[in-house]
Amino acid sequence: MAWDVEGTKRRIYEAALSEFAEHGPDGTTVDRIAKRAQINRERVYNYYGDKSKLFSAVIRSELDKIAAAVPLVITCAADVGEFAGRTFDYQRAHPDLARLVLWEGLSDTGSVSDEIVRTELYAGKAKAVAAAQQAALIDDTLDPAHLIFLVIALSSYWSAAPQIARMLSGSDVRDSAEAAHRRAAVVHAARQIAAPRRAGTRHPDGTTTTG
């Protein structure tokens, strides 16, 4: 088996994922990707076009994976916590993803590759939230999109800004006790945000009404 096209592509992909996550689109060199994948630089161009296309391919595929791995089904507020916890777990298991998203955000110049497809994907999640809100399963104070976003933020920022997490908590994600502790905090916070109000409803502008 001298030719292993799929294997070669996969190795390029994996090497690219690591390199991009570590150094970002600008800091990454095609040569290092090739070295890491143990193939010739030219193969990269042959299979993926150029560096930016490779970056797009990687980020898109990784986002597809997380979307598939962490579905969102809501029957109660605790489900939102569960979603947050699983997102947290996924981020921890795939620290490269959080960094990719950040690199993408920093390079953001008004729009992003596959923006339309990805928008649809988020719209689906927002729809699930909206449905749960209408069924009064969860708090309906927040805009569904904002609620989703905030929950993702809670789960993702740990790996997005590890230096802040480290300075605050004093320890490292690699400490699994600390990781469990963090996860619990994320789940708890997400539940609190989603929990339906009991007596009165506190609106985002600070006023409170009774329903």
Q: Residue numbers of the site for a copy of itself (CB under 8 A)?
A: 23-24, 26-27, 78, 99, 101-108, 111-112, 115, 118-119, 122, 126, 141-143, 145-150, 152-154, 156-158, 160-165, 167-170, 181-182, 184-189, 191-193, 195, 198, 202-206
Q: Rule CB under 7 A: is residue 50 a binding residue for DNA?
A: yes
- CB nearer a copy of itself, residue 36 or residue 188: 188
Q: Are 33 and 22 in contact (CB under 8 A)?
A: no
Q: Are 34 and 45 in contact (CB under 8 A)?
A: no
Distance CA 31, CA 16 (A): 10
Q: With contacts defined by CB under 7 A, how many residues of the chain interact with DNA? A: 22
List the beta strands (DSSP E) in the chain: 200-202, 208-210
Largest CA distance in the chain: 72
Angle, nearest 10°, between helix axes 77-93 and 95-106? 90
Give least dist CB 75 to a copy of itself, A: 15
- CB nearer DNA, residue 49 or residue 71: 49
Give least dist CB 44 to a copy of itself, A: 19
Give least dist CB 28 to DNA, A: 6
Distance CA 203, CA 169 (A): 31
Interface positions with DNA (CB under 7 A):
1-5, 7-8, 28-31, 38-43, 45-46, 50-52
